[in-house]
Amino acid sequence: MSCCCCLDKITNPELKAWVKEFADHATPDKIVVCNGSQEEYDALAAAEVARGAWIKLNEEKRPGCYLVRSHESDVARVEGRTYICCKNKDDAGPTNNWMDPTEMKKIMWELYKGCMKGRTLYVIPYSMGPIGSPLSKLGVELTDSAYVVCNMRIMTRMGDAALDLINKGAEYVKCYHSVGAPLEPGQEDVAWPCAPMEKKYITQFTDPGEEAIWSFGSGYGGNALLGKKCFALRIASALAKKEGWMAEHMLILKLTSPENKSYFVTAAFPSACGKTNLAMMLPTLPGWKVETCGDDIAWIHADKNTGKLHAINPENGFFGVAPGTSKVSNPNALEACRANTIFTNVVLTDDGDIWWEDMGVPAPAHGIDWKGNDCYASKEKPNKMVANADGTGEFIKAAHPNSRFTAPAEQCPVIAKEWEDPAGVPVDAILFGGRRPSTIPLVNMATDWAHGVYMGSAAGSEVTAAVISDQIGQVRRDPMAMLPFCGYNMADYFGHWLAMGEKVAADKLPKVFFVNWFRKDADGNFMWPGFGDNSRVLKWVCEAIEGKASTKVTPIGIMPTDDAIDLAGCETTPETLKELLTVDVEGWKKEVAGVKESWEKFGDRIPAALTAKLAEITEALNK
């Protein structure tokens, strides 16, 4: 191994020794300590283009943009291969894969042996949260993937500024990542190296003082960009429990009323509920404005100065799902990825631009699909693509359903000026939600903090035909949208939520709401127009925060009266709204029973205050 002089930049002896130890074991050809500069990024991207792995997009249409196609087997997070490793299995809880830390380290250290042969070891120092904010946390990722380096540069504050802090002695989380595909001398590399499924591991070590992330075998998104799900959610949630703050799977938005009063709202929804769309929404209500602070993760602390809960977005970019992102659903996201963006697994058009399903523009006559095959506009439907050159035959998914754009947050046209405030933004409201075609009303406010925690624990989405067949119509619970991301026992996590309610005065706590944009009528049509019209619900949320909303007390919470949601200029009829705001008592009895059942796997670890809240709601429904 040619040990390069740039290791001299690492003056923290502990960091240097750790890098050297891993390099001696993984045996890369060389080591590069990343500085985070544009030049470094450009050179890495150019090298990937030169070896045929990346495609530079049309500089007029998509300046500074690239298309990458992953291996067909490496397209999403791998929950079955994701582990929480701590000494005590019960501390990981029944919803996480667990292995003993010593045993896992033995397995993975063996996998890392020689794994970077023929490759470069990149050292990525990074900050989750603005550089130097007291709420930020540092990490160092060692990786053999240039794709990871470039994506981490967009998604985190990466490079010299973070290294400076670590050199000065700041704490950091140690992260190993390898695609798990060593190159023998003379062996030609493939475009997207990765390991077979049985060798993939995404491991979080969560014992206090032992926090670390070891990832092997996958190059994709949440498996490989270790600052995001692995650090900012799994490791951070475990740290937050210990240190008295919260790491949540939440967007953060700033809402401004026509009276020019601003509110900060966080929201947690399971996947496919449109979190990024809500974070960047264009309100249809005149005079209302939504600006974005973050679209995926919120770190929340009790603030000593304001006495309120404050949220920061630890990320620096958006790693958004491409299909469905359109001028109608999210014009701001489209603008954010107009330039300086990495696209993964979308369609390449003949003019060097990109396309995906439900982009709101007709499919190109010809393109290259995410697998690298020719695809063609369908003759039958101009918004779909097929594999046949004559435009006939079955529709294909020309962009992978989990295809992504990696775009700098600062490019979002409605990024809030507060988005990098080192003190975070004061949280006025927390929304939970899910895709619930029946029973769950459009909006419902918690009576108190414990009720809000109950609401979060009950979140989930109904399983649709697109997923697994034997569960259609059933609710898949995803408490606080954290099921795949909580770094410890979720029953203890509910307890931590309850404890956070004690950290600030009751009147300074955010109000908690449950929303449902996805109710369907008997014919299967959506009853609520959603998207920008959700501003009508947010208006009521603000009125409720001010104590000026028109409300009714119901067995399930505090709800708008039938005329309390502003429908001016909205296609929804008052009759439909009334239905969206009716408590379906029989449906709710089943709902509460479903929540209770979802708690069974936690045994008596479920906090008593939550059991009491469930009993209270049940009793009110039976009255």
Active-site residues, by number, are 273
Say how many residues touch ligand TSX, by CB under 6 A: 15
591 binds Mn ion (CB under 5 A): no
Using the rule CB under 6 A, is 159 a contact of ligand TSX?
Answer: no
C-alpha torsion 8→9→10→16, nearest 10: -30
Which of residues 296 and 492 has its CB atom nearest to Mn ion in the complex? 296
Least Å from the CB of residue 249 to Mn ion: 6
Identify which of 586, 578, 521, 581 has the alpha carbon closest to the alpha carbon of residue 557: 581
Closer Cβ to Mn ion, 221 or 408, answer by number: 221
Provide, rounded to whole angstroms, the least separation between the CB of residue 95 and ligand TSX.
Answer: 24
The helix/strand/coil state of 481 is: helix
Helix axes 608-622, 490-500, angle to 10 degrees: 80
227: DSSP letter: I
Q: Which one of residues 291, 296, 353, 420 is an interface residue with Mn ion (CB under 5 A)? A: 296
The pattern of x and - marking residues 452 through 491 that bind Mn ion according to CB under 5 A reads ----------------------------------------
Element containing residue 288 per DSSP (H, E): none
The 3-state DSSP class for residue 134 equals coil
Q: What is the dihedral of CA 333, 336, 340, 346, to 10 degrees?
A: 20
Shortest Å distance, C-beta 228 to Mn ion? 8
Q: How far is the CB of 588 from ligand TSX (least distance, A)?
A: 22
Stretch that binds Mn ion, among 154-162, 294-302, 358-366, 431-439 (CB under 5 A): 294-302
Stretch that binds ligand TSX, among 256-264, 276-284, 409-417, 453-461 (CB under 6 A): 276-284
In angstroms, give the least distance from the CB of 218 to ligand TSX. Answer: 24
Give every CB contact of residue 366 below 8 A, 6+ residues apart in sequence: 349, 350, 374, 375, 376, 377
Q: Which is nearer to Mn ion, 273 or 475 (CB)?
A: 273
Given a contact cutoff of 8 angstroms between Cβ atoms, the answer to whether 124 and 172 are in contact is: no
Among 64, 94, 360, 529, binds ligand TSX (CB under 6 A): 529
- Binding to ligand TSX by CB under 6 A, coded x per residue (else -) over 301-340, reads -----------------------x----x-----------
Strands (E), 500-588: 511-515, 551-554, 557-560
CB-count burial class (<10 Å; 0-12, 13-18, 19+) for 67: buried
Choose from Mn ion, ligand TSX, none: what does 517 bind? Cβ within 5-8 Å by kind.
Answer: ligand TSX
Look at residues 161, 181, 134, 144 and name the one whose alpha carbon lies nearest to residue 423. Answer: 134
Nearer to ligand TSX, 434 or 456 (CB): 434
The structure tokens listed for 78 are 């791998």
Q: Does 357 bind Mn ion (CB under 5 A)?
A: no
> 278 contacts which partner out of ligand TSX, Mn ion, none, CB within 5 to 8 A by kind?
ligand TSX
d(Cα 207, Cα 153) in Å, to the nearest integer? Answer: 28
Least distance between ligand TSX and beta carbon 286 (Å): 17
27 binds, among Mn ion, ligand TSX, none (CB under 5 to 8 A by kind): none
Cα 592 to Cα 614: distance, rounded to the nearest angstrom = 7
Distance in angstroms (rounded) separating the CA atoms of residues 321 and 102: 36
Among positions 19, 278, 297, 346, the unique one binding ligand TSX when judged by CB under 6 A: 278
Q: Which does 526 bind (CB under 5 to 8 A by kind): Mn ion, ligand TSX, none?
A: ligand TSX
Q: Is 295 in the site for Mn ion (CB under 5 A)?
A: no
- Beta strands 374-377 and 385-386 are antiparallel
Q: Is 70 in the site for ligand TSX (CB under 6 A)?
A: no
**Rounded Cα gap, residues 505 and 546, in angstroms:** 17
- By the criterion CB under 6 A, which residues form the site for ligand TSX? 272-274, 277-278, 281, 324, 329, 517-518, 526, 529-531, 534
- By the criterion CB under 5 A, which residues form the site for Mn ion? 296
